[in-house]
Amino acid sequence: MDTFGFLAQGLATAMQPMILLYALIGVTLGTAVGVLPGIGPALTVALLLPVTYGLDPAGSLIMFAGIYYGGMYGGSTTSILLNTPGESASIVTALEGNKMARAGRGGPALATAAIGSFVAGLLATLALAFLAPFVVKLALVLGPRDYFALMMLAFITVSAAFGDSTMKGLTSLFVGLALGVVGIDGLTGQARLSFGVPQLLDGVEVTTLAVAMFAVGEALFVAAQGSAMHDKIHAIKGSVRMTREDWSRSWRPWLRGTAIGFPIGAMPAGGADIASFLSYGSEKRFARKPEEFGHGAIEGVAGPEAANNAAAAGTLVPLLTLGLPTTATAAIMLAGFQQFGLQPGPLLFVTAPTLVWGLIASLLVANVMLLVLNLPLIRLWVRLLTIPRHWLYAGILLFATLGTIGVNPSPVELSMLMIFGIMGYLMRLHAYPIAPVVVGLILGPMAEQQLRRALAISQGDWTTLVASPVSAVLLTLAFLGLVVPPLLRWRGKGDVLSKVAAAED
């Protein structure tokens, strides 16, 4: 049977009423945990794993996949409306999305996120079905040096998120890099900057930092301004739907986001967060109105949201074809497969084709469900902003705290949430951007480990970093990204950039 035949058979499996029900439960739960700050899909799947012991394997795996997709989806809602990313892949969504929401354009922002996620999820799932064997071969060619080069490119790209002052952006980034050093060094097992506190040995949790900086910091900021708040939030201004212009500005970022997200998700050391950073950076480069970035550019929502969903589908490529779990959620899904006596890997497509194709088909179904579930909800969601502020932010604080201590009930974790929250408030007060701190914490340790792994493998030979074609190309791109824009500005040809961008469009 060819791929089409298998997919048709899979769709038949996925359309069974019970399977549909599992998928519906999965996407609903996933959306809910994505919306709640601090609680991610990995934790939800882990907690549900024992519950599903007696259930049908196909149904429960499909439910897990639904949770994963739903989580990517739900994370955007709070990012956009409340400037509170539910997880690391939605951080850049908050940058433009929240600006749009404050200007009364929350509806279109949510819609472009939802439709972008749908388009990306659909295309990436089809890519999973048809391209998985090829993509996975490419993924294996990449080693630590190539990942290091990718991280460098990501660093340069996210400088796009620095806001108006490069100096302030760099300061924020280095605060994040410093936080990334805390904990046991992965390669030597030695503790760094843990000051004898055992809870710090595992480092600073990304979700704790993100929830603290964004949610707690924002709540404190709002509370401190009291009734003297100048920055008036418009709940709804204009249509809740996307305008013709929104559509025309969104569809290219959706496709670009998918093209960036799927391969990066499929890379064993990639991930949805890196995909969303790269997408944000490239949207800013390609945008027809780059000056709108930082003030609510719809491209900055459409691209990263498509990228993080495409990356979620990409993650399933190494999981299903090689049995390689590359994210926390994938690792727990692997445990789920094993619980049912199934071993994902090169043989899974042969030993359990009904299940695999049923799963892939269910992802398509789950995608449609998510869109149907979320589009009508947008009207409801945007009304969140009409809740009186003191109630709204009290609620956000409550959920942020519950989410954090629900994952790790320790006083140290709670103290970190509060300390980083106050730090986030002070940074806001002095106009330092928040996102680079979180980005530094995510990318810093990854880049460090990949660099040291690469050097260990080459036994200290630095030329290894440019010896592979992939790393050489990526590092060249990163270098150009660093050097060309200031050079053009210095030669007084800043307008050349936008012309180049327009021509490439």
Partner 1 sequence: MKHTLLSVALAAVCAMPAFAADYTIIAPAAPGGGWDGTARAMQTVLQQEGISGNVQVQNVPGAGGTVGLAQFASSASGDANQLIVGGYVMVGAILTNASPVSLADVTPIARLTGEAVGIAVSANSPVQTIEELVEMLKADPGSVSWAGGSAGGVDHITVGLLAKAAGVDPTLINYVAFSGGGEALAAILGNQVTVGISGVGEFLPQVEAGTMRMLAVSTAERWVGTDAPTLMESGYDVDVQNWRMVAAAPGLTEEQKAAVTADIDAMVNSASWAETLETQNWANTYLSGADFDTQLAADIEATTVVLKDIGLVQ
Residues 356-415 touching partner 1, rule: CB under 8 A, are 377, 380, 402-403, 406, 408-410
DSSP 268: T
326 binds partner 1 (CB under 8 A): yes
Q: Which range, of 199-207, 215-223, 255-263, 420-428, touches partner 1 by CB under 8 A?
A: 199-207
201 binds partner 1 (CB under 8 A): yes
Asked if residue 444 lies in contact with residue 206, where contact means CB atoms within 8 angstroms, the answer is no
Q: How far apart are CA 62 and CA 365, in angstroms?
A: 10
Q: Give whichever of 263 and 344 is closer to partner 1, judged by the CB atom.
A: 344
343 binds partner 1 (CB under 8 A): yes
Q: Give whichever of 142 and 298 is closer to partner 1, judged by the CB atom.
A: 142
- The closest of 394, 438, 397 to 414, measured between CA atoms, is 397
* CB atoms near residue 197 (< 10 Å): 12
Q: Give whichever of 245 and 461 is closer to partner 1, judged by the CB atom.
A: 461
- The closest of 131, 218, 154 to 420, measured between CA atoms, is 218
Q: Which of 227, 231, 291, 341 binds partner 1 (CB under 8 A)?
A: 341
Q: Give whichever of 266 and 278 is closer to partner 1, judged by the CB atom.
A: 266
Q: Give whichever of 204 and 220 is closer to partner 1, judged by the CB atom.
A: 204
Q: Which of 66, 85, 143, 294 binds partner 1 (CB under 8 A)?
A: 143
Binding flags for partner 1, 13-42, as an x/- string (CB under 8 A): ---------------xx-xxx-xx--x--x
324 binds partner 1 (CB under 8 A): yes
Q: Give whichever of 157 and 326 is closer to partner 1, judged by the CB atom.
A: 326
* CB atoms near residue 491 (< 10 Å): 9
DSSP 461: -
Long-range contacts of 398-405 (CB under 8 A, 24+ apart): 399/36, 399/37, 399/38, 399/215, 400/37, 400/38, 400/84, 400/211, 400/212, 400/215, 400/216, 400/219, 402/38, 403/36, 403/37, 403/38, 403/39, 403/207, 403/211, 404/38, 404/207, 404/208, 404/211
433 binds partner 1 (CB under 8 A): no
Q: Give whichever of 170 and 384 is closer to partner 1, judged by the CB atom.
A: 384
- The closest of 469, 369, 443 to 27, measured between CA atoms, is 369
> Segment 439-468, which members bind partner 1 (CB under 8 A)?
449, 453, 456-457, 459
Q: Give whichever of 45 and 222 is closer to partner 1, judged by the CB atom.
A: 45
User: b/e map of 273-297 (b: 16 or more CB within 10 Å)?
Assistant: bbbbbbbbbbbbbbbeebebbbebb
To partner 1, the closest distance from the beta carbon of 34 in angstroms equals 9
To partner 1, the closest distance from the beta carbon of 504 in angstroms equals 33
144 binds partner 1 (CB under 8 A): yes
To partner 1, the closest distance from the beta carbon of 119 in angstroms equals 24
Total interface residues for partner 1 by CB under 8 A: 71
Helix (H) or strand (E) holding 258: helix 244-266
Q: Give whichever of 8 and 141 is closer to partner 1, judged by the CB atom.
A: 141
Q: How far apart are CA 96 and CA 255, in angstroms?
A: 18
Q: What are phi and psi of 40, to 5 degrees?
A: -105, 170
353 binds partner 1 (CB under 8 A): no
Q: Give whichever of 59 and 318 is closer to partner 1, judged by the CB atom.
A: 318
Structure-block tokens of residue 22: 């599992």
DSSP 441: H
Q: How far apart are CA 425 and CA 225, in angstroms?
A: 11
Q: Which of 5, 133, 186, 469 binds partner 1 (CB under 8 A)?
A: 186
184 binds partner 1 (CB under 8 A): yes
Binding flags for partner 1, 79-98, as an x/- string (CB under 8 A): --------------------
Q: Which range, of 14-22, 244-252, 324-332, 415-423, touches partner 1 by CB under 8 A?
A: 324-332
E-strand stretches of 238-303 = none
To partner 1, the closest distance from the beta carbon of 86 in angstroms equals 11
Q: How far apart are CA 396 and CA 220, in angstroms?
A: 11
Q: Which range, of 48-56, 151-159, 222-230, 359-367, touches partner 1 by CB under 8 A?
A: 48-56
Structure-block tokens of residue 505: 């469009």
Q: How far apart are CA 147 and CA 200, in angstroms?
A: 26
To partner 1, the closest distance from the beta carbon of 23 in angstroms equals 16
Please count the helices (runs of H) and the strands (runs of E) in the chain: 22, 2
Q: Which of 233, 339, 470, 472 binds partner 1 (CB under 8 A)?
A: 339
> Segment 266-285, which members bind partner 1 (CB under 8 A)?
268-269
Structure-block tokens of residue 249: 């500005």
Distance from the Cα of residue 330 to its chain's centroid: 15
346 binds partner 1 (CB under 8 A): yes
Q: Which range, of 15-23, 140-148, 215-223, 303-311, touches partner 1 by CB under 8 A?
A: 140-148
Residue type (1 letter), 280: Y
167 binds partner 1 (CB under 8 A): no
Binding flags for partner 1, 221-260, as an x/- string (CB under 8 A): ----------------------------------------
